[in-house]
Structure 1
Amino acid sequence: MTIEWRYTVEQDLGILSVSGYLGPDAVRRFTGAIGWVVGRGAGPVVVDLTGLRGWSAEGQLAIIEAARRLAEGGRSLELAAIPADGSLVPGGDCPPIPVHPDLAAALAGHGTRRGGLPEGRHEWRTTGWPSGDDAGE
Structure 2
Amino acid sequence: MQWDLERTGDIGVLHLSGFLGESVAHRLAGAVDWSGARCTEAMVIDLAALQGWNGEGEAAIVNAAGRLGADHGLLAVCGLAGRGAPLLATAHDLGVLRLYPDTDTALAALAPH
TM-score (norm 2): 0.83
Give the conservation status (yes or no) of the 8 Å contact 2:78–2:101.
Answer: yes
Task: Spell out the pairing of 1:6-25 with structure 2 (5 A cutoff).
Answer: 6-25=4-23
Deviations, residues 55-94 of structure 1 (Å, cap 9, x unaligned): 111111111111011125x1131001126032312399x7
Give the conservation status (yes or no) of the 8 Å contact 2:46–2:103.
Answer: yes
Task: Spell out the pairing of 1:23-62 with structure 2 (5 A cutoff).
Answer: 23-62=21-60
Q: Which residue identity lines up with residue 99 of structure 2 in the other structure?
A: V
Percent sequence identity over matched residues? 31
* SS class of match (1:43): coil
- Structure 2 Cα separation of the partners of residues 82 and 34 of structure 1: 19
More helix by share: 2
Q: Which residue of 2 aligns with 1:86?
A: 85
Classify 1:100/1:91 alpha carbon distance in 2 versus 1 (closer, same or farther; 3 Å).
closer
* SS class of match (1:99): strand
- Structure 1 Cα separation of the partners of residues 84 and 92 of structure 2: 19
Classify 1:108/1:35 alpha carbon distance in 2 versus 1 (closer, same or farther; 3 Å).
same
Number of residue pairs the alignment of both structures matches: 108
TM-score (norm 1): 0.70
Stretches (4+) displaced over 4 A: none
Q: Which residue of 2 aligns with 1:126?
A: none
Q: Is the deviation greater in 82-91 or in 35-44?
A: 82-91
Is 1:109 the counterpart of 2:104? The answer is no
Task: Please list every run of 5 or more consecutive structure 1 residues that lacks an aligned counterpart in the other structure.
Answer: 113-137
Q: How far does residue 101 in structure 1 lie from its aligned partner after superposition? A: 0.7
Task: Please list every run of 5 or more consecutive structure 2 residues that lacks an aligned counterpart in the other structure.
Answer: none
Q: How far does residue 110 in structure 1 lie from its aligned partner after superposition? A: 3.3
* SS class of match (1:46): strand
Classify 1:48/1:7 alpha carbon distance in 2 versus 1 (closer, same or farther; 3 Å).
same
